[in-house]
Amino acid sequence: MEDGAYRMQAAAAARAPVFVPWRVVPPLLSTALIMLGAGILGSLLPLRFSAMGLSPGTIGLIATAEALGFLVGCLYSHKIIAPVGLERAYAAFAGMKAVAISSLYFAQSAPILTLFRFMIGLNAAGLAIIVESWLNALVPNEQRGRVLTLYVLVYGLFYGAGQLLAQNLDVRGPEFLIISGISTTLALVPMVGINVRAPQLPQRVQLEILKALRTSPASVMACLLNGLVLTGFFTVGPLFGVRIGFDQQHVVILMACVSLGGLFLQWPIGHLSDKIDRLHALIGLGLGILAVAAALMSVDRRMPFYLIGILFAVFGGFAESLYAVGVAHANDRADKSDYVALSSTLLFVWALGAAIGPTTGTFAIQLISPSAFFGYVIVLTVAFTLFATWRLRRRKHDRTVEEREGFLQYPQTSPEIYAWLPYHKEPVGAAPSAGSERPPAPLAPLAPPAPPDSPDSPSTAAVQAQAGEDA
């Protein structure tokens, strides 16, 4: 009897996932290589297209194609992943992204460039979904916050490093495209060459925009503003720098300031939002963006470069924080069962803004002046700040009870990231929440049970579902 019980316990322990630090290294290393290549492209592609004689408005439309590709990838990548499994799908996404990057060198017409940028965005979404699925499966609840922080750091630091590597690369030549393609291809090695247990497969996330608007309209507007303003600036910024007289090296450094400012300023801003009403934090961010945008409208070549760099970094930090604080504010006001679907819907709203922002921003500088983009930012931010203030004034009539959670910094990568939600777990031994059939499993708490459907993964998981179990 005792021997049988011991064997059963040993078998259960063998099945239970154990957090071993080296097991998360392959996904993180792969992410680092992907983001290194993306950072090289981020600042140089607008400059390359400008050198090819394309107008700012056309450059913005091409950038919009990448955002639309990302959006389509978030919604439909599961249809590619499910039949073949995560390892093979990852190889396909990485290979196709590297091909699209390399093909940009041969493309001369705007429609072909648009097609390749769309492919880059679509495959980038598929890669992010798979990496985050692996990390979600490999990390137990008590380690999720730390690993998520590490993931965000890897994501942001290597993107910034890629931007800085691009300082002296010729925008007219093939070198920076080749380097970016090589980095993307090398990302295959950690994920394919090392034996990492394949997690459950993701499925299409269900979007609930009307429910998100009812839960927290200020959060929806914050995520939309982040996409309209900051994503647009990553396309407009290099063109703005060139038009006011900076060379490529200075432009690349300025855009790296935006990325790194967005990475590092989110933590103090987020932790401040833990101590005050998050709606106050969103209003404060709106006022901060207004102040920085007004200062940037007067920037010219005569202003000290370090001061412009600081303004760019603060602009990136304030604008990027809109998304993270907005998601946190929405989750404060939502039921636990709605966290994943709500956060995924906010990601979709951000992606819509990211698809619109580059086009509107580049047409502003084309039709008016280089500083017109910041006028566009001011108009949008004034509207958002007034709306958030109006929502604050209505607070006394709003009986919604907020359950405050600690701030977490989420990158805008894929809906799968929200399956991590380290503090949105049922306590051990607690009864299932309403609407669920059983308590969540340790590592796939937001996935429903499903039959096996691929040799690489034991079951299919939906990122927005409430309960799950490993096959």
Per DSSP, the three-state class of 201 is: strand
The Cα 355–Cα 357 span in angstroms is 6
Q: What is the reported pLDDT for 291?
A: 95
Q: Which residues of 330-341 are buried (b: 16+ CB within 10 A; e: fewer)?
A: bbbbbebbbbbb
Q: At what angle do helices 86-103 and 56-84 cross, to 10 degrees?
A: 160
Who contacts 284 (Cβ-Cβ below 8 Å, separation ≥6)?
none
Quote the pTM value: 0.76
Tens of pLDDT along the chain (471 residues) come to 444 443 444 444 444 444 445 777 888 899 999 999 999 998 899 999 999 999 999 999 999 999 999 989 888 888 888 888 778 888 899 999 999 999 999 998 999 999 999 999 999 988 888 887 777 777 666 666 677 778 888 888 999 999 999 888 999 999 999 999 999 999 988 876 555 555 555 555 667 778 778 888 988 999 999 999 988 899 999 999 998 889 999 999 999 999 898 888 887 887 787 788 888 999 999 999 999 999 999 888 889 999 999 999 999 999 988 888 888 888 777 776 666 677 778 888 888 898 999 999 999 988 888 889 999 999 999 999 999 999 888 765 554 445 555 555 556 555 555 555 554 444 434 443 333 333 333 333 333 333 333 333 333 333 333 333 333
The Cα 461–Cα 421 span in angstroms is 16
- Here the tokens at position 57 are 């408005």
